[in-house]
Amino acid sequence: MKKTILALRPLLAEEMDEVESHFNVIRLWEEKEPEATLMRYKNNIQGILSTYNSTGVRSSTIDALPNLEIIAQFGVGYDNIDIQAAARRNIAVTNTPDILTADTADTAMMLLLNIARRGVEGDVFIRVGRWQSGALPLGSCLTGKTVGIVGLGKIGSAIAHRCRAFGMNVVYYGRSKKDVDCKFYDDLKSMAKDSDFLVLACSGGPDTENIINLDILEALGPKGFLINIARGSVVNEEDLLIALQNRTIAGAGLDVYANEPNVPEEMLKMDQVVLLPHIGSATTETRSKMGKLVIDNLLAHFEGKPLLTPVHLS
């Protein structure tokens, strides 16, 4: 008999068809009264297909589903899942690491290049007919500049690799020193002070919440740029707005925000900000691989095989 899976958001069409060929799928995002649907099927639901951009899986949802066995996340970040609540019930959690590393690092570089060299600004400059009246203000050179990476994990390391190819000096901050040929800082403020670009590539969640605040942005200084492809929660967005308004920093390239899909109104008017709508991993190839990995984890679990990419609950 097919197991019942609660899907919070859709996968790409092909993967959605595949998941529906294996499971009974409750498409929660299509339900007019999601709470009532959850209650109606609470005894049937054995798996949740969650996504990085869904409201997430809170302890109240986990507690409401007595037969829940697995939460399979579409995304490497799982800060939207109450991991402790899952651990208490011995519920497996999986995510989609590695396959999205290159695309997300490319997105960081797209932001870095665009903010430093005024790429997006230059495009708008031509389209609104301003070239005839003068030149675009000059950008900032990348070669020889220092990039401070917060979180030298998989994506952080891929960004480091790309930055080196651009002739940049790479340093990093994190919980622990790695066996790599880059300077390590155990103090974020000191690294911000020494960096021209501060690139956020750490995980989200309570441990990194608001670690980028006005103090850190002041250390980054008026020639420094902030790039965030991690999570909006890592940055105190009000402090960032103040820093941008007062030119405490030179600019910011952002893919993620505190309250997605809402972006602070004030930022929309700022030339010194490049905004992307959380597209770090958003290529057809990668999103398809992510969907397949979600399905493979669900199948492995229900077939009693080892999970492909389990999140280790502590």
The single residue of 231, 237, 287, 301 carrying the catalytic annotation is: 231
Question: Distance between CA 139 and CA 121 in Å, rounded?
Answer: 10
Does 148 sit near ligand DGY (CB under 6 A)?
Answer: no
Clarify whether 278 is annotated catalytic: yes
Does 280 sit near ligand NDP (CB under 6 A)?
Answer: yes
Which positions ≥6 away from 71 have C-beta within 8 Å? 47, 48, 50, 57, 62, 81, 86, 91, 92, 93, 94
Query: How many chain residues are in contact with ligand NDP, going by CB under 6 A?
Result: 29
- Residue pair 108/201 in contact (Cβ under 8 Å)? The answer is yes
Does 77 sit near ligand DGY (CB under 6 A)?
Answer: yes
Asked whether the CA dihedral 205, 176, 278, 226 is positive or negative, the reply is positive
Residue length, the chain? 314
Stretch that binds ligand DGY, among 71-79, 124-132, 192-200, 208-216 (CB under 6 A): 71-79
> Which residues 89-128 are close enough to bind ligand NDP by CB under 6 A?
97, 100-101, 104
Clarify whether 312 is annotated catalytic: no
Burial class (CB in 10 A: 0-12, 13-18, 19+), 210: middle
Does 253 sit near ligand NDP (CB under 6 A)?
Answer: no
Stretch that binds ligand NDP, among 39-47, 127-135, 191-199, 229-237 (CB under 6 A): 229-237
Binding flags for ligand DGY, 20-59, as an x/- string (CB under 6 A)? --------------------------------x-------
**Token output for 279:** 């597209």
Does 75 sit near ligand DGY (CB under 6 A)?
Answer: yes
- Residue pair 30/62 in contact (Cβ under 8 Å)? The answer is no
Question: Distance between CA 22 and CA 17 in Å, rounded?
Answer: 9
Site residues (CB under 6 A) for ligand NDP? Answer: 76-77, 97, 100-101, 104, 151-156, 174-176, 201-204, 207-208, 229-231, 255-256, 278, 280-281
Residues annotated as part of the active site: 231, 260, 278
